[in-house]
Amino acid sequence: MKGFTLIELMVVVVIFALFSVTLMGLLLATLRGSNKAQLTQVLHQEGDYALMNMARTIRQGKSAACGSGQITVENNDGGTIIFSRVLNESVYKIASNSSQFLTGTRGTVSNLAFTCYVNETGQTTVTLGFTLAAMSGVQVQEKFTQDFATSVSLRND
């Protein structure tokens, strides 16, 4: 009598099931890693963009006044730009008073801080920093937080 016994068929089915579970685990791990890498890249670009724009504006400003969680920069033409953290569409973003958002919706901003001090030569230096974190809706494996900070001296003091 030719053919397979029931035990042989069950062994083959179990081997295929284990193989399938292993492949699904690898596929899911690859997808999670890809999503986290993409989210990390987007948040890093958003943070760098915000930091670069604020630093450029401060550097070119005539004067700067730091407050609690915000900075007011006076331009050479007499206008002012205020950078602060605002709540927009359930996400904290960095914005200027010109209603321009410097960060997007993929991350939320916390710990936005500005410190102004005048050195012995009379030049104003501003330190600024903030934390950008992935929104709480992402999976635990995709959590990401990045700190951004720099110091800028006003050129037009």
Q: Is 109 exposed, middle or buried (0-12, 13-18, 19+ CB in 10 A)?
A: buried
Report pLDDT digits (tens) over 90-105. Answer: 889 999 987 689 888 8
Residue 48 predicted with pLDDT over 70: yes
Q: In a 3-state reduction of DSSP, which class is residue 89? A: coil
Neighbours of 87 (CB within 10 A): 11
The whole model's pTM is what? 0.76
